[in-house]
Amino acid sequence: MEREVILETQNATKHFGGLAAVEKVNMKIYKGEILGLIGPNGAGKTTFVNIITGMLPITAGKVYFKGQDITGWPAYKVGRLGIARTFQIVKPFRGMTVRENVAVGAMFGHGGHKRSPREALEHVDEIIEFVGMAHLRDKHADQLTLPYLKRLELAKALAMDPELLFLDEVMAGLNTKEIESAMELVRRINERGITILVIEHVMKAIVGVTQRVFVLNFGQELAQGTPHEVLNNPEVIQAYLGEKFVERFFRQQKAA
């Protein structure tokens, strides 16, 4: 049975002057999956997400969401269509409470135009409970620790009712226990029927939550496959992971 494609890029390209940050990338994201996007710093991962989500104008190529051409759509229009994303650098509204932050997503996302303010707040409370922040809902964002700021980013995105969610390094800066908690939350989000693309340098998370992995290097596709296939790919090892890391990683996996 052929899997349903929820998003596809065809020769997606982004140039900054003479620099090709993303060059002719062809990617398919299948409905219901968790896809990992990895690669060295500067490989074009965030730029690639930015041209899909309308944060940056695309130079060339096409982007299709559920078969519809959304190439070049502005970010607000992409968000209302059912695509949400988090940011590598957390961007809360620091003068607002957790509840107020999440309410922004609830009012302006996929289903926001259908909700009254009361319905939006009820939706917000459910999302805050889901991400484990009910006890912090009246705290201001500038009072939160990094792990909770990361969860707030997730909550803001989830409040937009996405069908497709891009997570940009939501586990960066977290300790081992916090990473495991974040991995479980990503799995639970996926169980709600949300398709996820996760950009991550934490290989434990990539192996632990993704079904497929797509590798970018110098803005171009280097490899794709299952996590095991990608971690054993000589080109990926040479360009990104390093043989010592891979040997140590698999040794730790066997010992676990």
pLDDT for position 118: 77
pLDDT for position 255: 66
pLDDT of 214 above 70 = yes
Rounded to two decimals, the pTM is 0.91
| CATH code of domain 5-82+162-255 | 3.40.50.300
Q: Quick one: pLDDT band at residue 238, thresholds 50, 70, 90? A: confident
Q: Quick one: 194 exposed, middle or buried, by C-beta within 10 A (0-12, 13-18, 19+)?
A: buried
Boundaries of every domain in the chain: 5-82+162-255, 93-161
Query: What confidence tens digit (pLDDT) does each residue in 56-82 have?
Result: 999 999 999 999 999 999 998 999 999
Query: What confidence tens digit (pLDDT) does each residue in 75-128 have?
Result: 989 999 999 999 888 888 888 999 999 988 887 776 656 667 777 788 899 999
Of 51-55, 62-66, 146-150, 220-224, the least confident = 146-150
Query: What confidence tens digit (pLDDT) does each residue in 143-195 have?
Result: 999 999 999 999 999 999 999 999 999 898 889 999 999 999 999 999 999 99
pLDDT for position 256: 64
Q: Quick one: pLDDT band at residue 1, thresholds 50, 70, 90? A: low
pLDDT for position 166: 97
Query: What confidence tens digit (pLDDT) does each residue in 22-47 have?
Result: 999 999 999 999 999 999 988 999 99
pLDDT of 13 above 90 = yes
